[in-house]
Structure 1
Amino acid sequence: MKRTLAEHVAFLMLSAALAVGAWAVTGRAACSVTAPYQFPVQPGTPEWVELSANARRAACRLPAG
């Protein structure tokens, strides 16, 4: 199957756009973490056993910000 000039140009433009997009994000870190977050309640602790299923899910969420 023979490809047209328009198909080749479209492929090259898409490839270039993907390459530029990948280059733009590779040098940046999403965030700089200096210390891991300490969750107030952790699995295996006595406090964890006391929590309901919904409270356990909520305890595993990261705080906003």
Structure 2
Amino acid sequence: MSGEAPAFPWEAVLHAGLCRMRLPASDFWAMTPRELGFALGLLRPSAGTPGRAGLTALMRAFPDKKE
């Protein structure tokens, strides 16, 4: 039928999230489509990656261990 949108590729998405990425089902179903797209590399941040100064600032703001 012309003019209809293609069906959502559930099999491919489930395989990518649960098998290839090995996400727990609860994490997979909690993701938004945008988050899944970024995780699969289908989407890219428009601002690019932070430089060294930006990374250092983020590491100070969000340390792995609280002091």
Higher relative contact order (CA 8 A, sep 6+): 1
TM class by shorter chain equals under 0.3
CA radius of gyration, larger in: 1
